């Protein structure tokens, strides 16, 4: 037997047909006060989960108060309520093994609750009270404000994250709701009255969707519980925020923060799409082909073939008023220009030629196959259905997602690449030690040098 013969051959894997997956539909109700409720009963475990989705997030921060959406979400629970002191809430939740938490994202806020079925009434009472009547206790506000101020002071400790954040800021503009960042002055100026005003403006039943899943007796029983706690809550949908459209880039803009760090961090940012753009399906495939994983072109050409980077990828961050496409790479400053040149080359090729059928098929699989895991638990399912409505997706968006992605062809992928990937109209943002650069950054366009702050 030869040495080669002693090794096992590649296993022959079975081939399966196209995935046919349609997520289930929880029951949907609308209460008299305008609160939309999604319910999905699951008696597998004696646990009840609830998430309130509010159509307001960091992009809705009041002018000069960047960070207020996040602080309102945190302090809804941590700041106590009209009938429950903050410290008492913490003690009760710890004793019961339950949880309530809040978080704010770009265009939404979430308030989550988890409780054992036997404790549901007690925990749900607290949950409803912190949502509808938060107290924002001054002492807790100070703690939250100080913590956020420390986050701001340390925000440049990770230059890879800074590069993406600052590229987005320059892409939209520092004053744009999608580009504004928290500052010591904005967070430091937030008062209890500000939090109450933000809560009054956006925490309304007509502006919210409640998703509940888990071990409850029936939809009728849960609806009665919801009405009992949220029925007196008032407020129509909040006025639409005046968020400007994403900017049109007429040329290339290059920004540099000269920083003595071992690596150079490169971000190429271009105009992306909103949630309803029909191009999203072929664009998702094209973006994945470019920088979606180990078999992407970025990974193959920048990392594997040239050994220029450990981390390199591309993504599409959608927003209601137009998102952004970004390509990222962390590389050595001595070879940064090689990595950047290859990334720009691949962005150009995305629209210049059709991808191979194999690339398209592989990328469609990498998008479709993980899709089922968005619904791995009953609460993930009910939450995705709530988000589908919150963001105004077309009716049946989740049901047809697999078919819509599967319908992408090399021709439609190329058309999306040609329409969106144009590195001659982009923001290039670099953080690195320019004294070690192998080529002047000005070779890629007129450079604006910024101070890190």
* Distance from C-alpha of 161 to C-alpha of 13, rounded to nearest angstrom: 40
Residue 241 tokens, joined: 């925020």
Sign of torsion, CA 329 333 339 344? positive
Write down the pLDDT at residue 354: 94
Of 140-149, 230-239, 413-422, the least confident:
230-239
Write down the pLDDT at residue 21: 66
Is residue 19 domain-resident? no
319's CB contacts (< 8 A; 6+ apart) are 59, 106, 107, 178, 246, 272, 274, 275
Of 11-20, 77-86, 167-176, 310-319, the least confident:
11-20
Last residue of a domain, one of 230, 265, 283: 230
Last residue of a domain, one of 195, 230, 265: 230
pLDDT tier at 436, thresholds 50, 70, 90:
very high
Q: Are 148 and 182 in contact (CB under 8 A)?
A: yes
Is residue 11 domain-resident? no
Domain count, the chain: 2
Shared-domain flag, residues 350 and 269: yes
Whether the pLDDT of residue 396 is over 90: the answer is no
| Residues of the domain holding 315 | 253-449
Shared-domain flag, residues 380 and 303: yes
Shared-domain flag, residues 225 and 282: no
CATH number at residue 374: 3.30.830.10
Whether the pLDDT of residue 266 is over 80: the answer is yes
Task: Give pTM, 2 decimals.
Answer: 0.92
Write down the pLDDT at residue 20: 60
Is residue 9 domain-resident? no
Write down the pLDDT at residue 19: 55
Residue 221 tokens, joined: 């029983």
- Chain position carrying tokens 């080359």: 345
Write down the pLDDT at residue 16: 41
Is residue 244 domain-resident? no
State the chain's maximal CA–CA distance in angstroms. Answer: 82
Is residue 341 domain-resident? yes
How high is the mean pLDDT of the chain?
93
* Share above pLDDT 90 across residues of the chain, in percent, rounded to a whole number: 87
pLDDT tens across 323-376, in order?
A: 999 999 999 999 999 999 999 999 999 989 999 999 999 999 999 999 988 898
Whether the pLDDT of residue 9 is over 60: the answer is no
């Amino acid at each position: 037997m030869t040495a080669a013969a002693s090794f096992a051959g590649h296993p022959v894997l079975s081939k399966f047909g196209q995935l046919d997956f349609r997520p289930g539909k929880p029951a949907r109700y609308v209460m008299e006060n305008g609160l939309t409720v999604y319910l999905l009963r699951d008696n597998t475990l004696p646990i009840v989960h609830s998430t309130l989705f509010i159509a307001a997030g960091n992009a809705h921060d009041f002018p000069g108060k960047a960070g207020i959406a996040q602080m309102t979400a945190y302090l809804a629970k941590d700041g106590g309520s009209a009938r429950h002191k903050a410290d008492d809430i913490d003690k009760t939740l710890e004793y019961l093994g339950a949880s309530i938490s809040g978080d704010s994202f770009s265009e939404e806020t979430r308030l989550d609750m988890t409780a054992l079925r036997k404790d549901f009434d007690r925990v749900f009472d607290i949950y409803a009270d912190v949502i509808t009547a938060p107290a924002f206790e001054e002492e807790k506000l100070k703690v939250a404000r100080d913590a956020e101020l420390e986050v701001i002071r340390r925000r440049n400790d990770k230059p890879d994250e800074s590069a993406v954040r600052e590229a987005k800021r320059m892409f939209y503009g520092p004053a744009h709701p999608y580009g504004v960042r928290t500052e010591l002055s904005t967070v430091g100026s937030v008062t209890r009255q500000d939090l109450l005003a933000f809560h009054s403006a956006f925490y309304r039943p007509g502006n919210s969707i409640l998703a509940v899943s888990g071990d409850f007796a029936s939809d009728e029983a849960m609806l009665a519980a919801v009405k009992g706690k949220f029925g007196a809550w008032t407020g129509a949908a909040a006025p639409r925020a005046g968020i400007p459209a994403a900017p049109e880039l007429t040329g290339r803009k290059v920004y540099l923060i000269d920083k003595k760090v071992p690596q150079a961090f490169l971000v190429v940012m271009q105009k992306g799409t909103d949630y309803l753009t029909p191009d999203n399906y072929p664009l998702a495939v094209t973006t994945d082909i470019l920088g979606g994983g180990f078999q992407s072109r970025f990974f193959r050409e920048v990392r594997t073939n040239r050994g220029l980077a450990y981390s390199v990828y591309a993504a599409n961050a959608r927003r209601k008023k137009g998102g952004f496409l970004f390509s990222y790479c962390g590389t050595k400053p001595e070879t940064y220009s090689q990595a950047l040149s290859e990334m720009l080359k691949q962005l150009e090729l995305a629209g210049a030629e059709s991808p191979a059928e194999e690339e398209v098929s592989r990328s469609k699989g990498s998008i479709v196959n993980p899709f089922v895991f968005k619904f791995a638990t009953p609460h993930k399912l009910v939450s995705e259905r709530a988000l589908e409505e919150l963001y105004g997706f077309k009716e049946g968006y989740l049901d047809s997602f697999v078919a819509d992605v599967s319908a992408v062809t090399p021709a439609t992928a190329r058309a999306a690449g040609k329409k969106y990937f144009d590195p001659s109209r982009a923001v290039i943002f670099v953080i690195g030690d320019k004294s070690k650069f192998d080529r002047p950054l000005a070779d890629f366009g007129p450079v604006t040098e910024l101070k890190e702050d």
